[in-house]
């Protein structure tokens, strides 16, 4: 398997961010579609994509894709794929599925047929009638979209947002992958100051610190494909060595998080410690009305409360009005705010320079972007 096709799945609205990350890793044969970015590489791409991608949900190995209108066709075309070259004899290989706008709409039937086809193919390869399935896991998915079946194997395991540092959680945490994307969609870089005045359990400041120090988000966790035969231990060892070689451990950063909830800030400090960036992120108990900075230029990247719960809306709208007044005084700063509240701009008091539709979980949100002036060049 010198040339393989991989799919980095993405939350709606983040496909371009994921594609940019894939290209930055050196993979050029990139195709962007709704919810996914397809690219080619060798086996080491499985390791590097899982270790480095910040905004993708997971990395899938694409085994095959074909049009299918009947169950017989699904069986025969699945069986024709090279399963025996990928899956060892003792592997555990569950099959999941989904079907959208396709003639084959029964997902359980599709899963059953794909499983049966793979078993038949492996019987030919391994000359046996029974598979114990007590080895490494190869999670297979059959995804049908408009009568086209895509068959993949999940290389990731627990989603890529599971960095490993957030072992405790508050009520409504922002996913690490979305937090990283918000930062990458901003004008922030490691030379600039970053403030999150609604930092909660610290996800945005922590992700900014990981980006600022070029720390691979997956360097301290494991992946399902680490147990696969087709990806050697040496490849994983080399890929992990690369994460340490490219890390900027000594790079100084100016990242601040604040919140009115002292208890949640204790959680943020704990998470920063688990991510090994506790010396790079500074947290303090502070309401947005009291937000100030001694720095002339910087970026505010934040996920304020949305007012989705009954009884919270009035309080949240007051917060947005306060944000507008406080942020206006920081006129040389760039501000980036994600919220599902439809009236944000009116309450904030200013129309955004740019807006981008994103999803926080199942909530449709807008990412409001207010671009400040570029800081003067350092002499």
Predicted confidence (pLDDT) per residue in 266-309, tens digit: 999 999 999 999 999 999 999 999 999 999 999 999 999 998 77
Provide the pLDDT for residue 379. 60
Provide the pLDDT for residue 171. 62
Provide the pLDDT for residue 241. 97
Helices 262-274, 203-212: axis angle to 10 degrees equals: 30
Provide the pLDDT for residue 338. 98
Provide the pLDDT for residue 313. 87
Provide the pLDDT for residue 290. 95
Provide the pLDDT for residue 126. 87
Predicted confidence (pLDDT) per residue in 97-155, tens digit: 999 999 999 999 999 999 999 999 999 888 888 888 888 999 999 999 999 999 999 99
The alpha carbon of residue 20 and the mean position of all alpha carbons in its chain are separated, in whole angstroms, by 13
The answer to whether 202 and 283 have CB atoms below 8 angstroms apart is yes
Q: Is the pLDDT of residue 1 over 60?
A: no
Quote the percentage of the chain above a pLDDT of 90. 88
Provide the pLDDT for residue 310. 65
Provide the pLDDT for residue 168. 67
Q: CA–CA separation, 249 vs 237, rounded Å? A: 20
Provide the pLDDT for residue 37. 97
Single out the residue of 10, 13, 77 nearest to residue 39, CA to CA: 10
Provide the pLDDT for residue 131. 86
Helices 71-79, 107-126: axis angle to 10 degrees equals: 30
Q: CA–CA separation, 8 vs 19, rounded Å? A: 9
pLDDT band at 356 (very low <50, low <70, confident <90, very high): very high
Q: Is the pLDDT of residue 170 over 70?
A: no
What are the chain's domains?
4-154 (3.30.2130.30), 176-215+236-370 (3.40.50.150)
The answer to whether 193 and 297 have CB atoms below 8 angstroms apart is yes
Hey, what are 344's tokens? 């944000």
Provide the pLDDT for residue 144. 95
5 HSE (CA, 13 A, CB side): 13
Provide the pLDDT for residue 359. 95
Hey, what are 220's tokens? 């301290």
Q: Is the pLDDT of residue 256 over 90?
A: yes
Start-to-end C-alpha separation, the chain = 51
Q: CA–CA separation, 58 vs 368, rounded Å? A: 26
The alpha carbon of residue 370 and the mean position of all alpha carbons in its chain are separated, in whole angstroms, by 24
pTM of the model: 0.93
Provide the pLDDT for residue 13. 94
Provide the pLDDT for residue 307. 84
Q: CA–CA separation, 363 vs 301, rounded Å? A: 19
Q: What is the mean pLDDT of the chain?
A: 94
Q: CA–CA separation, 137 vs 93, rounded Å? A: 6
Q: CA–CA separation, 225 vs 52, rounded Å? A: 15
223 HSE (CA, 13 A, CB side): 31
Q: Is the pLDDT of residue 207 over 60?
A: yes
The answer to whether 18 and 56 have CB atoms below 8 angstroms apart is yes
């Amino acid at each position: 398997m010198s040339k393989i096709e991989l799919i980095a799945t993405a939350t709606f609205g983040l496909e371009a961010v994921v594609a940019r990350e894939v290209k930055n890793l050196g993979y050029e044969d990139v195709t962007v579609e709704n919810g996914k970015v397809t690219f080619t590489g060798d086996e080491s791409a499985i390791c590097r994509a899982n270790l480095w991608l910040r905004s993708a949900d997971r990395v899938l190995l694409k085994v095959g894709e074909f049009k299918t209108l009947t169950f017989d066709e699904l069986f025969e075309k699945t069986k024709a794929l090279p399963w025996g070259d990928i899956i060892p004899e003792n592997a555990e290989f569950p099959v999941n599925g989904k079907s959208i706008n396709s003639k084959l709409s029964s997902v359980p039937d599709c899963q059953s047929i794909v499983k049966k086809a793979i078993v038949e193919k492996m019987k030919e390869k391994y000359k046996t009638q029974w598979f114990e399935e007590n080895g490494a896991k190869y999670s297979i998915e059959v995804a049908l979209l408009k009568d086209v079946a895509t068959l993949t194997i999940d290389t990731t395991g627990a989603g890529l947002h599971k960095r490993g540092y957030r072992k405790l959680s508050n009520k409504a945490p922002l996913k690490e992958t979305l937090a990283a994307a918000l930062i990458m969609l901003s004008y922030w870089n490691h030379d600039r100051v970053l403030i999150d005045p609604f930092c909660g359990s610290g996800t945005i400041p922590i992700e900014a610190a990981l980006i600022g120090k070029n720390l691979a988000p997956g360097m301290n966790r494991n992946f399902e494909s680490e147990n696969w035969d087709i990806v050697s231990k040496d490849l994983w060892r080399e890929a992990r060595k690369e994460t340490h070689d490219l890390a900027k451990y000594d790079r100084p950063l100016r990242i601040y998080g604040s919140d009115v909830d002292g208890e949640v800030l204790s959680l943020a400090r704990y998470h920063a410690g688990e991510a090994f960036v506790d010396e790079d992120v500074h947290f303090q108990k502070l309401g947005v009305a009291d937000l100030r900075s001694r720095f002339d230029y910087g970026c505010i990247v934040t996920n304020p409360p949305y007012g989705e719960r009954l009884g919270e809306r009035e309080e949240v709208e007051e917060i947005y009005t306060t944000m507008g007044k406080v942020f206006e005084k920081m006129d040389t700063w760039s501000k980036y705010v994600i919220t599902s509240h439809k009236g944000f701009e009116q309450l904030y008091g200013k129309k955004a320079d740019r807006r981008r539709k994103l999803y926080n979980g199942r909530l449709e949100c807008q990412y409001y972007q207010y671009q400040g002036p570029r800081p003067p060049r350092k002499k």
